Amino acid sequence: MAEMAREPSQQPTAPELTLVGKVVDGWSRFLDSDVFYSFKRSPLIIVAFAVTVLLILGAFLAPWIAPHDTTNMASLNLMDAFKPPAWSVGGDGSFLLGTDDQGRDMLSGIMFGMQASLVIGFASVALAAIVGTILGLISGYVGGRVDSVIMRVADVQLTFPAILIALLIDGIVGSVLPRNTAEELTYPVLILAIASSLWVNFARTVRGSTLVEKNREYVQAAKVIGIHPTLIMVRHVLPNVMGPVLVIATLSLALAILTEATLSFLGVGIPSSEPSLGTLIRIGQEYLFSGEWWMTIFPGIALVILVLAVNLLGDWLRDALNPKLR
Amino acid sequence: MSQTLAAENREVPDTRSGASEQPLVQVQDLARYFDVSPPWLNRILENEPRSILKAVDGVSFDIPRGKTFSLVGESGCGKSTVARLVVGLYQPTRGTIHFEGVDMATLKTRKQQAPVRRRFQMIFQDPFASLNPRWRVAEIIAEPIRAHGIMSDDGQIRRRVGELLEQVRLSARDGEKFPHEFSGGQRQRISIARALASNPEFLVCDEPTSALDVSVQAQILNLMKELQKELGLTYLFISHDLAVVYHISDYVGVMYLGRLVEWGEARRVFFNPQHPYTRMLLDAIPDLEMTGRQRIPVAGEVPSPIHPPSGCHFHPRCPFANDRCRSETPQTRDFGEGGQVRCHAVEEGRLPPPGESGALTAGRDLNE
Amino acid sequence: MSDTERTPLLEVRDLRVEFPTRRGTLVAVNGVSFDIKEGEVLGVVGESGAGKSLTGSAVIGLLEPPGRIAAGEVRLKGRRIDNLPYREMRRVRGREIGMVFQDPLTSLNPLYTVGRQLVETILTHRDVSEETARKQAIDLLAEVGIPAPERRIDQYPHQFSGGMRQRVVIALALCVNPKLVIADEPTTALDVSIQAQIIKLLKRMCKEHGAAVMLITHDMGVIAETADRVAVMYAGRIAEIGPVRDVVQNAKHPYTHGLMGSIPMIGHDTDRLTQIEGSMPRLTEIPQGCAFNPRCPHAFDRCRSERPELIPVDDTRVACWLFDEGAKKAAE
């Protein structure tokens, strides 16, 4: 009803918000948003969110809160090897989930392993999101030949399964570089390998949204004003195509963690001296039939819970950000 | 081909320095074709020819300073394409646009264009799509000010934004809100404020009230008229609503399938329409005064602009069409009472007077 | 009203449509009552947000969830239809109430030929052979002015132009001779020159088939040309209802009055259109008392506190305290 409310304005100028004001304002707008409302309303998502946060905290605080330091070879005692979980016969109270073949605590191993998985997951998704978004934005906004080239590259990329690309890159790096350098480069190589299979998704989605947004009238208005195309892309189009990027990033995180685990399981990822969920499962599965089931089952369960929680979050975010589905 | 409007309407008093002044905007033989062919492979496989959509085909008109020129027509007639050509969103296939005597095509670089661009702006149809949903209103309005370097001091810009908001009858404090917090009419006001931010002289308005309710439309039309008086603005107004066009315009052009079929001084076009299409459009307006006048609904529908009829595009729907209309494209001819008409029948003088063909018998209003 | 001998075809009493949302329940239609007599054209006019389309949807039982009829009743020929089970309501919709929507494409299935849709509708509601149904369909298409109906009947909706499609929709709405047709903005999506054709056709067809029409539109011009009576809606309520001539030419409610003045007309040379300040309130912030009071130039204290009911004035009924006898005397 305020359309014509010409209240005598005490301040003739539009007030400027301070940084703190902006943050407070942004936070209160978030608490009032439909996304937060839909979050509050679904217990499953609250649980998934809590589990994800717990796992991430556990992984990154591992050096301080893990019961044993599995990265320190000196602290290992081979006498502790093959201990079953604490609650079974022969279990040891200080090794809650048992130990592996070298006497490393499974729980601590999982925590450190998850840290490796998450670091690689976040980094590869971030890389893929940045590259994919930029390429998708350019492809959609500029169009023409640039668009054709980028999208054909993306098409070719899609014909290779993610694992194959990762194996390929890993293989090349492994054979070209000396062994020591290759091992030092394990993380960057894994991140690059996984990101190269993920960027296509970002690029395609961003391109699609950009094609829609660039014909909207606010973009045309910016053109009439005479704004430089790069600025239009960055300041007008980009903020309006970021919603889907967030969704894909979340879903890709689960995929990236799985890919990393798969690669490590196949032995081309992180070397077995450094635990990751994949390497833990690989080492454990050799003992699966000799009775030491905990060595592979617990990292497996951790992986399943992590991926499931992140996926649930991603699915929910997709629905919450898409007003048509609500 | 087209004489200047101002020259032909000397009897129309100009509010400014006189009728002989150069028109602010001159459009000469403007054309824009779009290639709407199917992709290359489909054309080869299905043996389809290239198809070219002549969205605008040889349109000429002038807009005197401080006046409103309206383009009216049905969907697909090319009126919005003309608007986008004039502001430079599309490049013309043929023809020229002069802004204060400067040929826009000679301005090649962004730097050369900037001083001219600042002086014309555009208002769009959909108030829900024309404002960036992620920006605060103050940032939206400040964008042209910053882009053209009109002001650089933040406090100064903030004051200017507040002034602009009050100029369109909003409150300066509305600047801190987001577009979704406003109604359609208020958003259109914000759109107008943004257009005014670079102190333009010429506004292109593409159906600015078509998405609004009538009572809100009245507010926006009143505002536009007030601003025109206050700031001496020149408008190119695009609309399909003849009553709105009558209310706001000094000059009216009627478009049909990419061609300007008739233009002239607004009262002349409405009360003494020449082209059969203009007469037909006027006749299609619902009668709010309930005089019981029997309207004669127009026969037929607008043909596809991709395959327009031969000769005069209007001939399949025209009751006065003959063989010449079907084969020969009529040329634009000057019309005695000002403006131009593109019609063989008018040229040959074989049309009945407007009243008898069922058009508005509103001559009485003129004679009073 | 004058003809008491005719029982109303459609009676709507105190209709209330609600939308439960997380910020509380929105009342989109509030206490709306009107009748439509047999063969009558009732125009329902209002700006966006007035609740006119929702009233139409509520009558035919097509409210989209979470919207629901919270109170009131709808009677067709004396029989309540607002609480019918879904299947039965569907029969009523096809057979007794026909529908014409703004976008002809939403009423036609793009995957079936026009003929198949007509024939199926006829077969569902009538006991005739398929050949007879097809013949009737062709006759109907000819009746709505589609050239070469024998050929066009086997074409798909996308092969028709916008105006022709709306003609098909009108044929579809009338193919089983319903007693009532609800037309929601039937001409809004069409070009100016086509609108007049379609309005004329709708009027003629309904007259010939003996159907009453509830014509929902924002376009006063369409109402003036078509309707017998008109209901003006504002913020979910009827502001004024009466014979079309009285409402269009001699509007009583300040809102209707302002609305009529704000329409530009050819031949009327005014520099300024009459302007109703402000805009229709959002459903979340409908003011107390008369919903129009903050925009009304004549508002007085009572308007701000007490909601006016429809008050009979001549042939019209107006929801405005200005026409309340008691208030008038007090003012004098």
Contact partners of C by the rule of 3+ C-beta pairs under 8 A?
A, B
Of B147, B169, B200, the residue at which a domain comes to its end is B200
Nearest to A4 among C277, C282, C287 (CB): C277
8-state DSSP, A235: I
Same domain, B227 and B361: yes
Same domain, B164 and B259: no
**Res C266: pLDDT:** 86
C203 close to C40: Cβ distance less than 8 angstroms: no
Put simply, whether C159 touches B (Cβ < 8 Å) is no
Q: Provide the pLDDT confidence category of residue B298 given band limits of 50, 70 and 90.
A: low
**Res A16: pLDDT:** 53
Mean pLDDT lowest for which of B3-12, B33-42, C96-105?
Answer: B3-12
Same domain, B163 and B226: no
Name residue, tokens 């209309």. Answer: B325
Structural domains in chain A? 97-321 (1.10.3720.10)
Chain B residues touching chain C at CB-CB below 8 Å: 74-75, 183-186, 213-219, 221-222, 225, 240-244, 246-248, 270, 280-290, 295, 297-298, 301-302, 360, 362, 365
- B364 burial level (CB within 10 Å; 0-12, 13-18, 19+): exposed
Put simply, whether A6 touches B (Cβ < 8 Å) is yes
Same domain, B171 and B232: no
**Res A101: pLDDT:** 75
Per the domain annotation, does B362 fall within a domain?
Answer: yes
Question: Is the torsion defined by CA of C126, C129, C135, C141 positive or negative?
Answer: positive
Residue B43 maps to which CATH number?
3.40.50.300
**Res B50: pLDDT:** 81
Per the domain annotation, does B109 fall within a domain?
Answer: yes
Is 60 exceeded by the pLDDT of residue B13?
Answer: no
Per the domain annotation, does B28 fall within a domain?
Answer: yes
Structural domains in chain C? 10-96+178-331 (3.40.50.300)
Tell me the CA distances in angstroms from B178 to B140, B181, B186, one per residue in order. Answer: 10, 6, 12
Same domain, B223 and B339: yes
Same domain, B249 and B307: yes
Tell me the CA distances in angstroms from A68 to A79, A80, A282, one per residue in order. Answer: 15, 12, 21
Same domain, B150 and B238: no
Most A CBs within 10 Å: which of B173, B174, B189, as the mutation test of the A interface?
Answer: B173
CA distance A66 to A275: 14
Same domain, B96 and B142: no
Higher per-residue confidence, B34 vs B3 = B34
Of B151, B185, B200, the residue at which a domain comes to its end is B200
Contact at CB, C192 and B74, closer than 8 angstroms: yes
Is 60 exceeded by the pLDDT of residue B43?
Answer: yes
**Res C328: pLDDT:** 58
Q: Residue-wise pLDDT tens for chain C (332 aa)?
A: 444 456 789 999 999 999 988 778 889 999 999 999 988 999 999 988 899 999 999 998 888 888 899 999 999 988 899 888 888 888 888 888 988 888 777 788 889 999 999 999 899 888 889 999 999 999 999 988 888 899 999 999 988 888 888 999 999 988 888 999 999 998 888 888 788 888 888 888 888 888 999 999 998 888 988 899 999 999 999 999 999 999 988 899 999 999 998 999 888 888 888 888 888 888 888 898 999 999 999 988 889 998 998 999 888 999 999 888 765 555 55
Q: Which C residues in the span 271-330 are in contact with B, Cβ-Cβ below 8 Å?
A: 271-277, 279-280, 282
CA distance B194 to B199: 10
Mean pLDDT lowest for which of A227-231, B33-37, B240-244?
Answer: B33-37
Higher per-residue confidence, A141 vs B1 = A141
Q: Which C residues in the span 118-137 are in contact with B, Cβ-Cβ below 8 Å?
A: none
Number of domains within chain B: 2
Same domain, B69 and B164: no
Put simply, whether A26 touches B (Cβ < 8 Å) is no
**Res B293: pLDDT:** 62
Task: Give the nearest chain A residue to B219 (CA atoms).
Answer: A4
Same domain, B141 and B264: no
Q: What is the mean pLDDT of the segment spanning B297-303?
A: 74
Put simply, whether A220 touches B (Cβ < 8 Å) is yes
**Res B10: pLDDT:** 38
**Res B292: pLDDT:** 62
Higher per-residue confidence, A82 vs B145 = B145
Contact partners of B by the rule of 3+ C-beta pairs under 8 A?
A, C
What averages of pLDDT result for each successive group of 10 residues across chain A (326 residues)?
39 54 77 79 90 90 81 71 76 76 81 89 95 94 89 87 78 79 79 89 93 91 90 92 89 90 80 78 81 83 91 86 54
Q: Which B residues in the span 126-145 are in contact with A, Cβ-Cβ below 8 Å?
A: 126, 129-134, 138, 143-144
Same domain, B209 and B78: yes
Same domain, B241 and B322: yes
CB environment A252-268: b (16+ within 10 A), e (fewer): bbbbbbbbbbbbbbeeb
Verdict on whether the full-model pTM lies above 0.90: no
Q: What is the mean pLDDT of the segment spanning B257-285?
A: 90
Per the domain annotation, does B55 fall within a domain?
Answer: yes
Is 70 exceeded by the pLDDT of residue B265?
Answer: yes
Is 50 exceeded by the pLDDT of residue B267?
Answer: yes
What radius of gyration do chain C's Cα atoms show? Answer: 21
- A56 burial level (CB within 10 Å; 0-12, 13-18, 19+): middle
Per the domain annotation, does B124 fall within a domain?
Answer: no
Could you tell me which residues are beta bridge partners of residue C68?
C18
Contact at CB, A3 and C294, closer than 8 angstroms: no
Of B154, B182, B200, the residue at which a domain comes to its end is B200
Higher per-residue confidence, C62 vs B288 = C62
Task: Domain of residue B261: give its range.
Answer: 5-119+201-367
As a three-state string, the secondary structure of chain C is: CCCCCCCCCEEEEEEEEEEEECCEEEEEEEEEEEEECCCCEEEEECCCCCCHHHHHHHHCCCCCCCCEEEEEEEEECCEECCCCCHHHHHHHHHHCEEEECCCHHHHCCCCCCHHHHHHHHHHHHCCCCHHHHHHHHHHHHHHCCCCCHHHHCCCCHHHCCHHHHHHHHHHHHHCCCCCEEEEECCCCCCCHHHHHHHHHHHHHHHHHCCCEEEEEECCHHHHHHHCCEEEEEECCEEEEEEEHHHHHHCCCCHHHHHHHHCCCCCCCCCCCCCCCCCCCCCHHHCCCCCCCHHHCCCCCHHHHHCCCCCEEECCEEECCHHHCHHHHHHHC
